[in-house]
Amino acid sequence: MKAAVCRHFAQPLAIEDVSIGAPGAGEVKVRVVACAICQSDIHFIDGAWNSTLPAVCGHEASGVVEAIGPGVSSVAEGDHVVITLIRSCGRCHHCLAGMRPLCEGAFPPGDEKISDTKGAAIFQGLRTAAFAEYVVVDASQVVAIPPEVPLDSAALIACGVVTGVGAVSRNASVEEGDSAVIIGTGGVGINSVQGARLEKAHPIIAVDINERKLQAALDFGADHAIDPKKTDVREAVLSLTAGRGADHVFISVGSAEAVELGLGLLRRGGALIIAGMPPSGVRAGFDLTDFVDSGRRIIGSKMGSTHPQRDIPELVSLYLEGRLMLDELISGRYPLDRINEAIDSSKGGDALRNIIVF
């Protein structure tokens, strides 16, 4: 099969033939139809998180079930599915507590399924490896969706949508009338804007240095858009929240500076929700006395605390009802042999989501 294999950090991906094994017990083989380019893929390709090479990246995907392994009953051959990196055993402490992204279950190494023409193993990047024509993943990573949902749009649900919306609805428990600030309005942030709109937050304030993304935030439901290069963000947020500061601030970029900025925008008792995944070693600083005295909270949001089998069907329903925007998230569609162009465009900052279509 054709796959984009990264062999050197900061080097272009190589498009080449690789082989993939058959699904084992509890596994599903999916013919990939679409895979979006997430910032996490770019971090991995650039060497973040002690990345293992050679690897096939890509984790925000959709496709059609090609085959199922023994014991799989949640999907059937021919089903249209969303493919996510959230792999869960359903039995450990975190799974039973409803926190599927924190699963502690043991799974066989996914890179055993992918090999080059000489038989050498290729790492399954981010548990998925969907920059390829086929993937073999655990059954917990796929969720069947109605065939009328376009698969390129459905792919976006797998990471950016569940993370952004989940940060609002699951991690922050935003209520109607709460004020919300979203710092960074890329793939995750724009969906935090959508999540805040769905929860009827007000005002919804988007913060970004990219004018196109600020306009997109307004299109997706933000009430105000602030460019820190032109406006004092703290003064603007205070003026929009009766001088108190925001009830919730969402950080959707992996940046210490964004975290430090966000803490300064909170009201007393407010919550900072960090949904953007930074590279390893990034540290932020803040005044502990002020933090404790003000009763503020910091919440880490991994994949929006999503339970795929519960949350993805709900998001699909919202899309079919016209309440969740997915089609509008796609900035560009690229074939696999133009993946480097798609990644460069994503790095440039203007794209919400570029997507590889097969």
Domain CATH number, residue 194: 3.40.50.720
Weakest-pLDDT range from 129-138, 186-195, 282-291, 331-340? 282-291
Asked if the structure places residue 313 within a domain, the reply is no
Residue-averaged pLDDT of the chain: 95
Asked if the structure places residue 279 within a domain, the reply is yes
State the total domains in the chain: 2
**Quick one: which of 142, 154, 133 has its CA closest to 26?**
142
Q: Which tens digits make up the pLDDT trace of 50-100?
A: 889 999 999 999 999 999 999 999 999 999 999 999 999 999 999 999 999
According to the model, what pLDDT value does residue 113 have? 86
Considering the domain architecture, whether residues 149 and 44 belong to the same structural domain is answered as yes
Return the sign of the alpha-carbon dihedral for residues 274, 169, 231, 270: negative
Considering the domain architecture, whether residues 9 and 87 belong to the same structural domain is answered as yes
Beta bridge partners of 142: 83
Q: Residue 349: is its pLDDT beyond 90?
A: no
According to the model, what pLDDT value does residue 209 have? 95
User: Cβ distance 297 to 263 under 8 Å?
Assistant: no
Considering the domain architecture, whether residues 192 and 293 belong to the same structural domain is answered as yes
Return the sign of the alpha-carbon dihedral for residues 226, 230, 235, 236: negative
Asked if the structure places residue 241 within a domain, the reply is yes
Considering the domain architecture, whether residues 60 and 182 belong to the same structural domain is answered as no
Asked if the structure places residue 17 within a domain, the reply is yes
In degrees and rounded to multiples of 5, residue 190 shows phi and psi of: -65, -30
According to the model, what pLDDT value does residue 279 have? 78
Beta strands in the chain (DSSP E): 2-6, 14-17, 19-20, 27-36, 55-56, 60-68, 80-83, 114-115, 123-124, 134-138, 142-144, 180-183, 204-207, 224-226, 246-251, 266-274, 297-300, 330-334, 353-357
Question: How many Å apart are CA 180 and CA 192, to the nearest integer?
Answer: 9
Considering the domain architecture, whether residues 8 and 43 belong to the same structural domain is answered as yes
Considering the domain architecture, whether residues 101 and 216 belong to the same structural domain is answered as no
Q: Residue 138: is its pLDDT beyond 70?
A: yes
Q: For residue 94, what are its two tokens?
A: 């975190």
Considering the domain architecture, whether residues 112 and 51 belong to the same structural domain is answered as yes
Amino acid occupying residue 65: V
Asked if the structure places residue 314 within a domain, the reply is no
Confidence of residue 350 (pLDDT cuts 50, 70, 90): confident
What is the β-pairing status of strands 353-357 and 330-334?
parallel
- 49 sits in the region (left: phi over 0; alpha: psi -120 to 50; else beta) called left
Question: How many Å apart are CA 267 and CA 238, to the nearest integer?
Answer: 9
Considering the domain architecture, whether residues 119 and 144 belong to the same structural domain is answered as yes
Considering the domain architecture, whether residues 118 and 64 belong to the same structural domain is answered as yes
The residue count for the chain: 358
Considering the domain architecture, whether residues 240 and 263 belong to the same structural domain is answered as yes
Beta bridge partners of 31: 64, 134
- Show Cβ contacts of residue 173 under 8 Å, excluding neighbours closer than 6 positions: none
**Domain CATH code at residue 55:** 3.90.180.10
Q: Which tens digits make up the pLDDT trace of 236-248?
A: 999 999 999 999 9
Question: How many Å apart are CA 86 and CA 119, to the nearest integer?
Answer: 27
Mean pLDDT (whole number) for 293-307: 97
Asked if the structure places residue 312 within a domain, the reply is no
The residue segments making up the domain with residue 7 are: 2-158+326-357
Asked if the structure places residue 307 within a domain, the reply is no
Beta bridge partners of 182: 206, 250
Q: For residue 200, what are its two tokens?
A: 């009827």
Question: How many Å apart are CA 272 and CA 180, to the nearest integer?
Answer: 10
Q: What is the number of other CB atoms lying within 10 angstroms of the CB of residue 17?
A: 10
According to the model, what pLDDT value does residue 111 have? 65
According to the model, what pLDDT value does residue 54 have? 94
Q: For residue 344, what are its two tokens?
A: 């460069």
CA 256, chain centre distance (Å): 19
Mean pLDDT (whole number) for 248-270: 96
Return the sign of the alpha-carbon dihedral for residues 152, 169, 251, 143: negative
Q: Counting beta carbons within 10 angstroms of the beta carbon of residue 253, is it exposed (0 to 12), middle (13 to 18) or buried (19 or more)?
A: buried
CA angle at 174 for the pair 103 and 40, rounded to the nearest 5°: 45
Mean pLDDT (whole number) for 230-241: 98
According to the model, what pLDDT value does residue 110 have? 65
**Quick one: which of 63, 227, 89 has its CA closest to 152?**
63
Asked if the structure places residue 345 within a domain, the reply is yes
Considering the domain architecture, whether residues 218 and 96 belong to the same structural domain is answered as no
Q: Residue 18: is its pLDDT beyond 90?
A: yes
Mean pLDDT (whole number) for 318-332: 97
Considering the domain architecture, whether residues 229 and 280 belong to the same structural domain is answered as yes
Question: How many Å apart are CA 121 and CA 19, to the nearest integer?
Answer: 10
